[in-house]
Amino acid sequence: MSVDLTEESYEKNREAGEILAQVRDETADRVEVGASHLEIAEYAEERIRELGGEPAFPVNISIDEEAAHATPKPDDDSTFGEEMINLDIGVHIDGWLADTAVTVDLSGNPELAEAPAEALDAALEIIEPGIETGEIGAEIESVIDGYGYNPVVNLSGHGLGHWEQHTDPNIPNRGVEQGVELEVGDVVAIEPFATDGGGKVTEGAKEEIYALEREASVRNRQAREALEQIVEEFKTLPFARRWLDTSRAEMALRRLQQQNVVHGYPVLKEQDGFLVSQKEHTIIVTEDGCEVTTRSR
């Protein structure tokens, strides 16, 4: 989705990115062996609110082979070990979004953590109006290949819309012949993933993140209470089970899924025994390149 660089939406995108950059850096500094997954996620989400934003989606904390959609469950007692940890965090201001991610390596594999970061920097260097998304993917793939790792080819960067976390265009993590041209005002998240595995993720069994599919009449009281909160607070953006105020949230979500009112996001993961790293920035395409809204200040 594009924004007019003279409109209020542009400023709200920038404000979301500024808040997010600060929260990402502060949160990453708190990740250490023995720290609580739940406390880290709740710290980031509350810090976003303190700074004037709202979480655009639950903080993703992906460990080792996990690549996306992992967030702590209610009363989660998991703590960090000597692992590879990806933090993926989002902020919105009145539905205008920013999205960012960083790898904190406690596993002793610094080059794997560096690969997507360098690939992201290389991609940002070439972005300008008219560039094709396939060219961006080729640049990402080339850098990650140069480190001796594989890009995760079935995950991609994406556009960011108003109240929409994933819109066109997709930004591939490998070179493709057919892409779309970026235009001035496009708001996109560039999101390289690198792995020492085969380069494709599959759906795992865990599911703690959901989003509204459609509004409908719901008879069960807990499911109805949950739906009212979802529509009012989260709209079409992803939310966590632990965010729901209703009692028996797990049962309420199960009923809403059975009626196709909400859909879940299973954790995406590489094969066991391999590691995934990630780096992500949100950009706005400008006349002479791009503005990185989530860069550290």
Q: Is 191 a catalytic residue?
A: yes
In angstroms, what CA-CA distances link 249 with 43, 64, 217, 230, 278?
A: 22, 28, 18, 12, 31
Q: Which of 37, 69, 92, 158 is an active site residue?
A: 158
Q: Is 88 a catalytic residue?
A: yes
The amino acid present at 258, given as its one-letter code, is Q
Question: Exposure string (b/e) for 233-244, b if CB count within 10 Å is 16 or more?
Answer: ebeebbbbbbbb
Q: Is 37 a catalytic residue?
A: no
Q: Which of 54, 141, 207, 280 is an active site residue?
A: 280
Q: Which of 111, 164, 166, 291 is an active site residue?
A: 166
Q: Which of 54, 64, 88, 207 is an active site residue?
A: 88
Query: Which H helix or E strand runs over 136?
Result: helix 133-146
Q: Which two tokens stand for residue 245?
A: 């105020």
Q: Is 166 a catalytic residue?
A: yes
Q: Which of 18, 99, 105, 208 is an active site residue?
A: 99
DSSP letter assigned to residue 199: S
Instruction: Give the CA-trace dihedral at 71, 104, 120, 168, to 10 degrees.
Output: 0
Instruction: Give the CA-trace dihedral at 71, 72, 74, 78, to 10 degrees.
Output: 170
Q: Which of 191, 196, 207, 225 is an active site residue?
A: 191
Contact criterion met (CB below 8 Å) for 36 and 73: no
Q: Is 186 a catalytic residue?
A: no
Question: Exposure string (b/e) for 281-294, b if CB count within 10 Å is 16 or more?
Answer: bbbbbeeeebbbbb
Catalytic sites, residue numbers: 88, 99, 158, 166, 191, 280
